[in-house]
Amino acid sequence: MKSKYLAEFFGSFFLLMMIVGSGVMAERLASGNEALALLCSSLATGFGLFVVIRTLAPVSGAHFNPCVSLLKKLAGEISTVEFFEYILAQIPGAILGVLAVHCMFGLDVLQVSTHERNGLNLGLSEFFATFGLMFVILSGSSRKDESVPVLVSCFVMSAYWFTSSTAFANPAVTLARAFTDTFCGIAPKSLPAFFLAQMTGAILAFLVFRRMKRSF
């Protein structure tokens, strides 16, 4: 496997370990205080994401998200074959990251979430979270801004709080979280709406950025 796909695999693996592992730990230690649990999980995810992006960006570009790979494909930065290869590295890495968390915390390794996340409000949350995240990435990348990892991490931490869905904003993350029946899980029946909102948000971000590009 090429280095960039290994980077995408391991980046996705550790991203899901951060999201789900911090969620499990926070839920155990917060004594039922959901606000505290969310705060702890958002901070752990944001800081961890910064480290992973900074570490692996020189190798693969640090997509870790099919929406990011889609934008790179639409921009002509990667080929169609590379686009699918990125996704084929991201999804298994994300799912195995979830399973690794189950092992570390002594949970049943194989799980399917029963946590339904339905409703227009959640779909809108995923749309805006993904639109915002993709726009941050596009604008920062266009300027070759070295602060992109900081911008992305800060946006993700913020979006945990300003969206009702807690901002999945990533189809690979969303799919992987269907395999955990913990604080972070999402029931399989809720996946299609999340996927649709995320992809729509990503494509619209690309179109809006392309229209505004000369201003950056």
What are the residue boundaries of the structural domains of the chain, listed by start?
Answer: 3-215
Token digits of residue 54: 């900074």
Architecture of domain 3-215: Up-down Bundle (1.20)
**Phi, psi (degrees; rounded to nearest 5) at 44:** -65, -40
The predicted-structure confidence for 84-108, as pLDDT tens digits, reads as follows: 999 999 999 999 999 999 999 999 9
Q: How confident is the model at residue 96, as a pLDDT?
A: 98
Give the Cα separation of 37 and 33 in Å (integer): 6
DSSP assignment string, 145-182? -TTHHHHHHHHHHHHHHHSTT-----HHHHHHGGG--S
Give the Cα separation of 178 and 174 in Å (integer): 7
Choice among 46-50, 76-80, 138-142 with the minimum mean pLDDT: 138-142
Using an 8 Å Cβ cutoff, are 37 and 19 in contact? no
Using an 8 Å Cβ cutoff, are 117 and 95 in contact? no
